[in-house]
Amino acid sequence: MTTLTIARPDDWHLHLRDGAMMQAVLPHSARDFARAIIMPNLVPPVVTSAQAAAYRDRIMAALPEGMDFTPLMTLYLTEDTDPDDVAAAHASGLVKAVKLYPAGATTNSASGVANFDKVRPTLDRMAAIGLPLCVHGEVTDHDVDIFDREAVFIDRVLDPIRRATPGLRVVMEHITTRNAVDYARAQGDTLGATITTHHLVINRNHILAGGIKPHYYCLPVAKREEHRLALRAAATSGEGRFFLGTDSAPHTDANKLLPCGCAGCFTAPNTMPILAQVFEEEDALTHLEGFTSRNGPAFYGLPVNTDTMTLTKTPPQVPSHVETDDGPVTVFDPGYPLLWSVT
C-alpha cells in the first residue's frame, strides 16, 4: 500500500498552551486534526466555564485564516469545582470533558485533587449527564516508584472512583503500561483509553541509556519495552476503546534542558507520519482510521469527520524545531527516518 485515505483525525488529548506558544504550535495541530480535546493545565488552570469560554475564544483568535479546527474544551477539576457550573458548561456544548489531575502529578497540577471525597458531587453529576472524566492516572506518593505510579493508581484510585460513581464515563489518558491495557480491556463501554504517539515509539532506555535525553522525558514516563509492545498491540488492534490522544506538550528547549527540566514531548508536527509507520510495521494500516478518526468520536458521542486525510508513502518534511517568541521548541524525534507524508 502506498496511499491511504482516512476520515480526518482528531486528537483526544492536546496541550495548546496560551499566548506566543499557542500561536506557534496551534497551526501544527490544526493542519492535520479537525478537533482536539484541549487540556486545561494553564497557569492559572481553566477551572470555570467562563475561563473555558475565554480560552476557546483565544484559541479561535489564534487560528490562522482558512484553517478548520474545533477546540473541544475541558474543565480542570478542583476540590472547589461547582457541579452546577460543570453541568451548565456541558449543557451549552462548551465543555466536552472534565480533567482530573491528582494534585502534584505533572506540569501545572498543583490545583488538582488530593481528597477524592470532595469531588464526589461533581463526579455523580457528570455520571448523570454523561460528561466524561479524563484522568491523569498516576499516584503522587513519594514512596511509590515513578515507574509504578500508573499501575498503583488503577488499584488505589481509579477502580474505587468508578465503583463509587457507577456509570461515570472515564478516559484513562496516555496509558503507558500493560497493566492499563489489561484493565481497560476488562471494563465495559463506559471506559476508554488514549495512547500517545511517543509511547508507541520509545521505552525508558530512550530516555536514560547512553546519556540523558530530556526531549524524551514526559509524564507518565515511558516504561519498559514489554509495556511499549502492549501499547502497540492495543493501539493497532482495532478495538474501539483505544484511541489517539497525542499529549503533544510543547515546552521551550530552555525549559526542557535544565537540571529540573519540564515533562512533555512535542509531537503535533509529525504524529500522523509516525502513526502510519507504526501501523504499517504492525501490519495494521487498516486499523489506523479507527484509532485516529473513529473510536474517539464514538466514545464522545460525536460524528466522525466527513472530510478526509490522505497519507502517501513518501518521506515527509518535518522541522526539527518550531520557533516561538519564547524560544525554539524541539519536535519529537522518533530516531528513524519517516516514510509517510500527509498530502
**Residue least distant from Zn ion (Cβ):** 247
Number of H helices, E strands in the chain: 13, 13
Least separation in angstroms between CB 249 and ligand NCD: 4
Is 324 one of the binding residues for ligand NCD (CB under 6 A)?
no
**Which alpha helices (DSSP H) does the chain contain, by range?**
19-32, 49-62, 83-91, 120-129, 149-153, 159-164, 178-185, 204-208, 225-235, 253-256, 271-281, 288-289, 295-300
The residue (of 7 and 218) whose beta carbon lies closer to ligand NCD is: 218
Where does residue 285 fall: left (phi above 0), alpha (psi -120 to 50 degrees), or beta otherwise?
alpha
Residues lying near Zn ion in the complex (CB under 5 A)? 247
Instruction: Tell me, yes or no, if 10 is annotated catalytic.
Output: no
Least separation in angstroms between CB 264 and ligand NCD: 3
Marked catalytic residue, from 85, 247, 307, 333: 247
Q: Compute how many residues bind ligand NCD; rule: CB under 6 A.
A: 11
The count of C-alpha atoms lying within 13 angstroms of the C-alpha of 173, restricted to the half-sphere facing its C-beta, is 26
The residue (of 239 and 247) whose beta carbon lies closer to Zn ion is: 247
Is 264 one of the binding residues for ligand NCD (CB under 6 A)?
yes
Distance in angstroms (rounded) separating the CA atoms of residues 167 and 130: 8
- Find the binder of ligand NCD among 29, 41, 271, 293 (CB under 6 A): 41
Residue 327: exposure state from Cβ atoms within 10 A (0-12, 13-18, ≥19): middle
**Contact partner at residue 305 from ligand NCD, Zn ion, none, CB < 5 to 8 Å by partner kind:** none
SS3 category, 178: helix
Interface positions, 168-207, toward ligand NCD (CB under 6 A) = none
Distance in angstroms (rounded) separating the CA atoms of residues 298 and 235: 16
**Contact partner at residue 106 from ligand NCD, Zn ion, none, CB < 5 to 8 Å by partner kind:** ligand NCD
All 3 cell numbers of residue 150?
Answer: 500508573
**Contact partner at residue 150 from Zn ion, ligand NCD, none, CB < 5 to 8 Å by partner kind:** none
Residues within the interface to ligand NCD (CB under 6 A): 15, 41, 106-107, 136, 218-219, 247, 249, 263-264
- Which residues participate in catalysis according to the annotation? 247
